Amino acid sequence: MSTARHTAALVLVLVAAGSFAFATGAAVIGGPADTIAEDRLAVQPADGPSGNYAYLNDDDEIVVDVSASNPNLPADFEGVNADSLASADGVFTVTYTADEHARVWIEHDDGSVTFTADGDPIEGRANNVTLGPNETVAVGLDIDARGEVAGTRLGADEFSIRAELAEPEAAPSASASTGGSGPITTVTAPSDDRREFAASEIDRDDTVRFEADGMFLDGANVTLDRLDLEGVETDSVELSAAGSPEPFEDGSALDAPTTPRSIAYLSVEHDFDPDEVDAMTIRFSASREALDDAGIDPENVTLYRRSEAGDWTEKDASVVGEDAVRILGLPEDRVHFRATTEEFSTFAVAERVPRLDVTEAAVEPEAIDPGEEATVRATVANGGGAGGERTVTLTADGEPVANETVALAPNETATVALTAAFETAGEYDLAVSGTDAGTLLVGDPAGGDGEGDDDTQDATAGENTGGSGGSGGSGAGPVEEPGGIDLVELGGLLALVALVAAGVALVRRMPRS
C-alpha cells in the first residue's frame, strides 16, 4: 500500500543568550560568523553537505533551516518526512577564540529536535563540551518527527548557545579529542564479513555507536553499517559481529509462521549482561539494484531474531526516508534500514512474502440436473507477512473447471465463489486448489438414460420367456408367476379385493343423513 508524501518544516533561529566574562585576546575567524559573548564564541555553517542546513541571515544570526525555504537546498527538497527519524552531523560549528578553556552547551526546549556533538546530546549544562583556545566543536541534529503531520513546524523558533569558563584542572589535555568526554571506541575488521567492537570509559545511560563500515552480510548486496547501544549501564563493552548469506553452522534457518524468505544472516556476540544495555539499533543497507533484480519491495524487508529456544521473532525494520538519507549524506544508490532489539543473538534479514491458502470449501447445491450449474464457495486466507494475490482453481475429479483470482492484505480473509456447469450425469469429487469441497451428484447415475428402473426391466424379461404354459415349462409343482407371486398368494389377494369391493358397495347403500 502506498502512502502519501508528508513533510514537516524545521526552522530554528539562534539568538545569543547570556554573555560571560572572558579574557581578551580573541582569535580571528575566517569568513562571516555569528559571534557571542563579546566575540569569544564564533558560530558558522559547517563545511560539508550537512553545512547546507545552516546559514547566516541578514542580521548575521545563524539559522538552522531544514525545510523548502532554505536557499542552499535543492528546489525539490520539501523538508523532513512526517512520522520519521532523521539526523545530520556537522550542521554548524562553535569555535572558542579566547585564551582560557570554556564549557559550551545548547539550551533548547522542544523535544522533537536534539543538538548533538559526536553523536551525543550537547543540550543542558550537564552535557557540555570543553573547548580550549581556538578549539572548535561541530554541532549536529537529531530530528524526531514521529507522530507529526504534514506542515508541522518542528522545534521552537529559537535556541541558545551557553558558555562558562572552565577551571584549569577541568580543562582537557591538548591530546583530547574535539567534542569533550565520551566513550572511547575501537573497531577492527578481521575480514569483509566480520567486525570486532570495543568501547570503554562509558558514562551511565550513554549511547555507544559502532561504525561497521559496510560489513558484508550478503556480499556488498546487503551490509551492516552501524550498531548503536542505547542506555548502557556498564563502563565497557565488547561485541563481535559476523555476516553470511546462509544460516550459520551452529544455527537454524529462518522459520516463522508467515513464511518469510531469508536474504542474509547476522550473528552478534557480546560480553555484557543484556540487562546492562537498554536496546541495540541495527542499521543495515541493501543495493537498490540487487533489490530490483530480485523483485523485492524495500517496504517488505524486515529483520528477525532467533531466540535461544530456536524461535524466530520479527523486529520490524523500517526504511530510512530519502530526506534523512540526504541529510546524513548516506549513499543514495542503497536502501537504508534500521531495527531496534532489546535482545542479542542471531538475526536474519528477510523479505515478507504473501501466503494465500484455501482453508475450506463447500459445494451448493450438492445435487443438480445435467446442464445445470453448481457453485463452490471457498475461504482464502493470507497468513503471510505481505499482501499478494493468487488464482484458485476448482477441479472436478482432478480436472480444472473454473478459477478465480483473489488479492489479500496480510491477515485478511475472503470468500470466493466458483461456478461451473455439468452436462453429464454422474458423481464428481470437487476441490479448490487441493482443498476438498465435497461430492456433487448430477442427474441419476444408475439410470442416466431415463429408460426405467431395474424392476421394470426384470418384469419385461419375464414376459418374454412366457408363463407356466409356455414351451419352456416342464418341471413338477407350481410355477412362479413373472411378478414373483405364487397362486396361493394370488388367491388371498383376490379375496381381499372382493372384501374391499363389498365394503364400498355397503357404504354406497347407507342412507345419507
DSSP assignment of 185-223: EEEEEEETTEEEEEEESPPTTEEEEEEEEEEEEETBTEE
As averages over each run of 10 residues, the pLDDT of the chain (513 residues) reads 33 40 42 75 87 86 84 81 80 85 82 86 86 87 76 65 65 32 82 92 87 94 94 91 92 91 95 89 95 95 92 92 82 94 92 95 94 96 93 96 95 95 95 96 69 41 39 38 45 45 37 39
Cα 383 vs. chain centroid, distance in angstroms? 13
Q: Are 349 and 296 in contact (CB under 8 A)?
A: no
Query: What pLDDT does residue 162 have?
Result: 83
In a domain, 470, yes or no: no
119 and 143 assigned to the same domain: yes
In a domain, 296, yes or no: yes
30 and 76 assigned to the same domain: yes
- State whether the Cα torsion 111-114-120-123 is positive or negative: negative
Query: What pLDDT does residue 85 have?
Result: 78
How far, in Å, CA of 383 to CA of 386, rounded? 9
Using a 10 angstrom Cβ sphere, with 0-12 exposed, 13-18 middle and 19 or more buried, the burial of residue 31 is exposed
3-state secondary structure of 3: coil
294 and 321 assigned to the same domain: yes
How far, in Å, CA of 469 to CA of 471, rounded? 7
How far, in Å, CA of 135 to CA of 130, rounded? 9
Residues in the chain: 513
325 and 360 assigned to the same domain: no
CATH of the domain at 263: 2.60.220
Which residues lie across from 186 on neighbouring strands? Answer: 198
CATH of the domain at 411: 2.60.40.10
Going by the DSSP 8-state scheme, the letter that residue 275 receives in this structure is G
Cα 239 vs. chain centroid, distance in angstroms? 27
Place of cell 446442464: 371
Q: Are 229 and 208 in contact (CB under 8 A)?
A: yes
Query: What pLDDT does residue 17 have?
Result: 39
How far, in Å, CA of 390 to CA of 417, rounded? 14
In a domain, 455, yes or no: no
Q: What's the CA dihedral at 311, 228, 89, 48 to 10 degrees?
A: -70
First to last CA, the chain: 87
Which residues lie across from 249 on neighbouring strands? Answer: none
How far, in Å, CA of 21 to CA of 48, rounded? 32
Q: Are 422 and 368 in contact (CB under 8 A)?
A: yes
Place of cell 542552499: 72
In a domain, 469, yes or no: no
Task: Provide the number of structural domains found in the chain.
Answer: 3
458 φ, ψ (degrees, to nearest 5): -65, -40
411 and 279 assigned to the same domain: no
Place of cell 407356466: 468
DSSP count for the chain of H helices, then E strands: 4, 34
Query: What pLDDT does residue 112 have?
Result: 81
Question: Which among 166, 208, 182 is positioned nearest to 122, based on CA atoms?
Answer: 182
Query: What pLDDT does residue 19 have?
Result: 34
For residue 191, give its domain range: 184-351
Query: What pLDDT does residue 4 have?
Result: 28
96 and 233 assigned to the same domain: no
In a domain, 119, yes or no: yes
In a domain, 487, yes or no: no
Q: Given 351, 380, 405, which residue is the final one in a domain?
A: 351
335 and 361 assigned to the same domain: no
In a domain, 320, yes or no: yes
Q: Is beta strand 102-107 parallel, antiparallel or unpaired with respect to 129-131?
A: antiparallel
43 and 111 assigned to the same domain: yes
Q: In what order do the strands lie in the sheet with 435-442?
A: 367-368, 435-442, 426-432, 388-396, 399-408
Q: Given 326, 351, 376, which residue is the final one in a domain?
A: 351
Query: What pLDDT does residue 291 have?
Result: 96
220 and 154 assigned to the same domain: no
How far, in Å, CA of 281 to CA of 300, rounded? 19
401 and 286 assigned to the same domain: no
How far, in Å, CA of 139 to CA of 53, rounded? 12
Nine-digit cell string for 133: 583556545
CATH of the domain at 117: 2.60.40
217 and 250 assigned to the same domain: yes
How far, in Å, CA of 193 to CA of 265, rounded? 11
- State whether the Cα torsion 339-211-143-118 is positive or negative: positive
Q: Given 104, 136, 166, which residue is the final one in a domain?
A: 166
In a domain, 259, yes or no: yes
247 and 144 assigned to the same domain: no
Query: What pLDDT does residue 153 have?
Result: 64
